[in-house]
């Protein structure tokens, strides 16, 4: 598990490790965490990327980073603190440390579709074996099957690489 995040400097360093050193964050301390919201560049603001900008919360005790919706940071911090204090689930998805390693191996490709063998390995539950399933991506119009959240992440990862390189990846892996 990650290390405790007790100071604002530690919180900024943790976010920089995950999001890169070029991304700066507005930080707000709460009783149990640090709420961070990205500070967008002028270009990002011109592109409309500020609309719906979410928040990240670093748990002070565990160092876990969770992604939260685009409410004001103060409200996110209050919700986070209440969840910790009452034992309720945190209303955000864990982004660090990653929970899964997703590996793709291309099985076939034709002009309309690309198929992958998708292997998902739980990183924190080492007693659970990996699962394997087939992922089919339809190129145009873009869609994928199955439609669960891990398949969605894998399809997005593959599609982003195909846009960047002009070809669908034959293999690769990432953590989420």
Residues of the chain with pLDDT under 70: 1-3, 126
Do 48 and 118 sit in the same domain of this protein? no
**CA pair distance 22, 159, nearest whole angstrom:** 25
CA-to-CA separations, 77 to 14, 55, 81, in angstroms, rounded:
18, 10, 6
**CA pair distance 175, 98, nearest whole angstrom:** 6
Range of the domain at 149: 100-175
The conformation of residue 51, written as its DSSP 8-state character, comes to T
Do 109 and 85 sit in the same domain of this protein? no
Cis peptide before 141, with omega less than 30 degrees from 0?
Answer: yes
**2 occurs within a structural domain:** no
The conformation of residue 94, written as its DSSP 8-state character, comes to E
The confidence score (pLDDT) of residue 109 equals 97
Do 91 and 105 sit in the same domain of this protein? no
Q: Model confidence over 116-163: pLDDT tens digits? A: 999 998 887 767 778 899 999 999 999 999 988 889 889 988 998 898
The confidence score (pLDDT) of residue 4 equals 77
**CA pair distance 147, 125, nearest whole angstrom:** 23
- Among 33, 66, 96, the domain boundary falls at 96
The confidence score (pLDDT) of residue 149 equals 80
| Cβ neighbours of residue 136 closer than 8 Å, sequence gap 6 or more | 113, 114, 115, 116, 144, 145
Do 83 and 136 sit in the same domain of this protein? no
The conformation of residue 26, written as its DSSP 8-state character, comes to E
Do 111 and 83 sit in the same domain of this protein? no
Do 116 and 74 sit in the same domain of this protein? no
């Amino acid at each position: 598990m990650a290390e405790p995040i007790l100071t604002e400097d530690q919180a900024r360093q943790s976010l920089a490790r995950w999001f890169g050193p070029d991304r700066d964050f507005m930080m707000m301390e709460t009783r149990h965490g640090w709420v961070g919201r990205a500070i967008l560049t002028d270009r990002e603001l011109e592109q409309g990327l500020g609309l719906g900008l979410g928040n990240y919360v670093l748990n002070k005790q565990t160092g876990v980073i969770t992604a939260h919706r685009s409410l004001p940071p103060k409200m996110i911090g209050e919700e986070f603190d209440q969840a910790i204090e009452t034992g309720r689930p945190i209303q955000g998805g864990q982004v660090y440390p990653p929970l899964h390693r997703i590996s793709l191996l291309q099985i076939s490709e034709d002009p309309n579709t690309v198929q992958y063998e998708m292997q998902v390995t739980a990183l924190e539950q080492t007693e659970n074996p990996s699962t394997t399933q087939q992922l089919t991506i339809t190129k145009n119009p873009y869609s994928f099957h199955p439609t669960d959240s891990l398949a969605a992440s894998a399809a997005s990862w593959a599609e982003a690489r195909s846009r960047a390189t002009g070809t669908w990846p034959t293999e690769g892996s990432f953590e989420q």
